[in-house]
Amino acid sequence: MARLKLEILGDEDALPGVFTDEDRELLRGDTAERRRDDLRVFAAWHAALGTDPDAALDEMRERTYERVMGRLGGA
């Protein structure tokens, strides 16, 4: 989720209150290799469930976008 928020906003400080301390901690240790590994695990988990990992990621991205953009009205 932290990566999706960063993808949407481009900066952890772009919209106060969106990034939690946990988000910031996760992003501190983030690397391209870790992202690839996380996506591999995500895809394997969805394959085991019989669901489409790309569709699931798109849905998660859309829900996160809506939640983040909803904060703009309340910011």
- With beta carbons less than 8 A apart as the criterion, state whether 12 and 6 touch: yes
pLDDT at 72 over 80: no
Question: What pLDDT is recorded for position 74?
Answer: 59
pLDDT tens figures, 45-64: 999 999 999 999 999 999 99
Torsion sign across C-alpha atoms 19, 25, 31, 32: negative
Domain residues of the chain, as ranges? 2-74
The torsion of the CA quartet 74, 5, 20, 53, rounded to 10 degrees, works out to: 120
Say what the pTM is: 0.75
Separation between Cα atoms, residue 70 and residue 54, nearest integer Å: 24
The torsion of the CA quartet 5, 10, 13, 17, rounded to 10 degrees, works out to: -20
